[in-house]
A and B are shown apart, each in its own frame.
Chain A
Amino acid sequence: MPTSRVSRRTLLRTAAATTALVAVPRLLRAQPKTIKVGAIHPVTGPLAEVGQLQRISAQLAVDATNAAGGIKSMAGARLELLTGDSESKAEVARTVTERLVNDGAAVIMGGFHSGHIMAMVPVAQQRRVPFIIDIGAADVITRNVAQSVKEGKQKTQYVYRIFPSTSTFGARAVQHMTGVFKETKVSPKRVVVMYTNDAFGKPQSESFVSAVKAASPGFDIVEVIPYPEDAKDLSTEVSRVKALKPDILSPITRPATAILLFQELTRQRVDLMGVVSPGAPGMTQPRQLEILKEHLEFVMASVPWPNVKSPRTQRVGAEYSKRTSGKSMDETSFSYDAIQVIADVLERARSTDPDALVEAIRKTNFNDPIMVSAGPIRFDEVGENVSATTAMVQILKNKPLVVWPRDAAQAPPVFPRPRV
């Protein structure tokens, strides 16, 4: 009978639809949904080592968030890290970002090389995906986006940074130096700046020089000496430093040139009150300490550093050490804070809608960073973390210890360095 056949089908269809309608929300409730976070880091290529540590730090924070119950305001939604490898190349950073956005990343984080970040920013802006920069200092990254939003070329700013910007590095270095000199009751006068002449060293030295000019802290920069990034020999440069008779040498190095420089300072017996770097890699990394040993003793560097005095940072540090076969945390732990901020933003936004997320990012007031911070993480109108700061780290008995600011200090600063 034709009528009964049709009605049976209709019945089945209705039944199936009803079951589905009733069952699906239950399934959703039973299985918290996952929120995908894209993490783009240079995991292979010349920057591989840092990139891998950044990825581990981010994963650590994702695991901690999930273990603590996920995003509670979104029914315990779990974070899932979608990892991307920029291969230490800007153009790959861009395509990988595109791919992760296509794969459903609601937020992206990552970076390291400012050039790579510049290639990722347009993707975040065009595809309307909030982007939290964990490491990457060039001022222009956020400034350009803020500018074009201000001029009305783009509607919303999706790019925010928790890492200190280049100008922050300069200003904080001068603050810390002034603090240390006051604490030790010494007033050095003549500072010579040396920098590796590349996209990192030049702006970093300029920011330091202009911060010194702006603060007039009682010391002057008598000479700025750039040297090539791939220098094979710095003996003549160091002879020049020696001839200038400075109280302080402020070097902005890369790890390789730091080795050349510090050997040469010892060899030529340059008489200094101390070496104080306004922030550069090469003085605080374990391998550098191992290679340079006594040449680095009493050297100070104003660098991003974990707040090792905080018990929570220590706990994270222990876990980090386990996953990295014994490494201790460094600036790559900013990736941990980036994920913490993302979790906090999601918690408050209660949604993965990009504009709701941006709204929540702007209202961020995150109290619990594991890095040394000048207060809770908050973003200004340019997208910079206003509390981003560095710590003055001094090498004492071949160990990097925070000596300034006072509340994060593990040891008092030793300045001027004792004469041998």
Chain B
Amino acid sequence: MDPTLIGQALLNGILFGGVYSLMAVGLSLIFGVMRVVNFAHGDMMVWGMYLALVLAERARLDPYLGFVLCAGLLFLLGAVVQRVLVDRVVDSAHEMQILLMLGVALVLENTALVIFGPDPQRVASPLTTATIWLGPLFVDVARLTTFVVAIALTIALYLFLARTRPGQMIRAAADNTYGALVVGVNVPRVYMVAFGIGAACVGAAGALVSAFLPFQPASGLSASVTSFNIVIIGGMGSLLGAFCGGLAVSIAESLGAVFLSPSLKELVSFSLLVLILLFRPAGLFGRRTP
């Protein structure tokens, strides 16, 4: 096996892992705080991509700057979805929540289909084909930028949760809802903000990859499935888990494409999932629920 090829695959895996991590962090946050699995996560990501497209085509805003605006808009979308819909089923059985979120996913996907049509799209950015060569290895500038921004956003989110007062409230509501209510935390508002942040993360991820990853309205489902896979591998509700899970899945897929047939690369990530469920059912960084 060609060592350059393996090195390149490892590098590609790490760089793309940043995106996976950011996607999964959003999903994990929402689940961690309100125990709702956001099945519309991938479709929110696709909406992040379409917003980046609109901003690029109408306002000539590069997606590597426009992602901030996309994240903001997705925050609003997430907050509205939470307040109007999810809030009604927070205490309901899981199947009720799943049905609702699948419904939201369908609405988001088909709205995109009506507005943008079924064609695959891509956002133009000068970074798309820029490369840096490190000897025989190349680094894709767009992916590198995405990786750096994704890592920065994840760290910022971590600091927000750990160091700020609203962050503490979110953690309190996640750890012990009644306790938080007793000490005066406005739990419904915390839920709304947490859902918004989760949606903003995946919206930012969508905008950041929109320059090199083609998308169409139907792309949401596979993004959702990938995010779940990562979150389960990393441990439901754990941000560190989601982050490391994203890198692990991406590297596993990339190396799988070298050592196995590329069309089996998803087999590698899902095998990883099965192994984790067999030997560490709570995930790499998950805590067992008592």
**B262: which of A225, A260, A269, A285 is its contact (CB, 8 Å)?**
A225
On chain A, the residues within 8 Å of B87 by CB distance are: none
On chain A, the residues within 8 Å of B117 by CB distance are: 48-49
A-B contact pairs, 24 of them (CB 8 A): A46-B113, A46-B118, A49-B117, A197-B263, A225-B262, A226-B262, A231-B262, A233-B213, A235-B16, A236-B12, A236-B257, A239-B5, A239-B12, A255-B119, A259-B122, A259-B214, A260-B212, A263-B129, A266-B129, A267-B129, A287-B119, A287-B120, A291-B122, A291-B124
Give chain B's interface residues, CB within 8 Å of chain A: 2, 4-5, 8-9, 12-13, 16, 113, 117-122, 124, 128-129, 131, 138, 140, 143, 212-216, 218-219, 222, 226, 253-254, 257-258, 261-263, 265-266
Please, how many angstroms separate the alpha-carbon atoms of A259 and B120 in the complex? 8
On chain B, the residues within 8 Å of A225 by CB distance are: 261-262
Which B residue's beta carbon lies closest to that of A88? B118
Known: A225-B262, A239-B8, A268-B131. Is A46-B254 also a contact (CB below 8 A)?
Answer: no
On chain B, the residues within 8 Å of A259 by CB distance are: 120, 122, 214
Distance (Å) between the CB of B254 and the closest chain A CB?
5
Please, how many angstroms separate the alpha-carbon atoms of A291 and B123 in the complex? 8
On chain B, the residues within 8 Å of A235 by CB distance are: 8, 12, 16, 140, 143, 254
Please, how many angstroms separate the alpha-carbon atoms of A260 and B2 in the complex? 23
Q: A185 near B: Cβ within 8 Å?
A: no
Since A226-B261, A239-B8, A291-B121 are in contact, a sample of 16 more A-B pairs with Cβ atoms closer than 8 Å, ordered by chain A residue number, is A49-B117, A230-B219, A230-B222, A232-B226, A233-B213, A236-B8, A236-B12, A236-B13, A236-B257, A239-B5, A239-B12, A255-B119, A255-B214, A267-B131, A267-B138, A267-B140
Chain A residues 263 to 299 lying within 8 A of chain B, measured CB to CB, are: 263, 266-269, 285, 287, 291, 295
Please, how many angstroms separate the alpha-carbon atoms of A209 and B213 in the complex? 29
Q: A237 near B: Cβ within 8 Å?
A: yes
Distance (Å) between the CB of A54 and the closest chain B CB?
14
On chain B, the residues within 8 Å of A6 by CB distance are: none
On chain B, the residues within 8 Å of A47 by CB distance are: 118
Please, how many angstroms separate the alpha-carbon atoms of A263 and B214 in the complex? 11
Residue among B12, B13, B118, B120 having the largest count of chain A Cβ atoms under 10 Å: B120
Please, how many angstroms separate the alpha-carbon atoms of A228 and B222 in the complex? 11
The 5 A-B pairs of least Cβ separation, nearest first, read: A197-B263, A256-B120, A259-B214, A226-B263, A236-B257
On chain B, the residues within 8 Å of A227 by CB distance are: 257, 262-263
**Are A240 and B118 interface neighbours, CB within 8 A?**
no
Q: A243 near B: Cβ within 8 Å?
A: yes
Q: 1/0 per position for A231-262, CB-CB distance to B under 8 A?
A: 11101110110010000000000011101100
Please, how many angstroms separate the alpha-carbon atoms of A225 and B258 in the complex? 11
On chain B, the residues within 8 Å of A260 by CB distance are: 212-214
**Are B122 and A236 interface neighbours, CB within 8 A?**
no
Known: A256-B214, A256-B216, A268-B138. Is A48-B118 also a contact (CB below 8 A)?
Answer: yes
Please, how many angstroms separate the alpha-carbon atoms of A291 and B12 in the complex? 23
Which A residue's beta carbon lies closest to that of B250? A233
Distance (Å) between the CB of A318 and the closest chain B CB?
24
Known: A47-B118, A239-B9. Is A256-B140 also a contact (CB below 8 A)?
Answer: no
Please, how many angstroms separate the alpha-carbon atoms of A269 and B132 in the complex? 12
Q: 1/0 per position for A33-71, CB-CB distance to B under 8 A?
A: 000000000000011110000000000000000000000
**Are A237 and B5 interface neighbours, CB within 8 A?**
no
Which A residue's beta carbon lies closest to that of B15? A235
Residue among A48, A230, A239, A263 having the largest count of chain B Cβ atoms under 10 Å: A239
Distance (Å) between the CB of B137 and the closest chain A CB?
9
**A49: which of B119, B212, B213, B215 is its contact (CB, 8 Å)?**
B119
Known: A46-B118, A233-B12, A268-B131. Is A240-B262 also a contact (CB below 8 A)?
Answer: yes
**Are B4 and A243 interface neighbours, CB within 8 A?**
yes
On chain B, the residues within 8 Å of A266 by CB distance are: 129
Please, how many angstroms separate the alpha-carbon atoms of A287 and B143 in the complex? 24
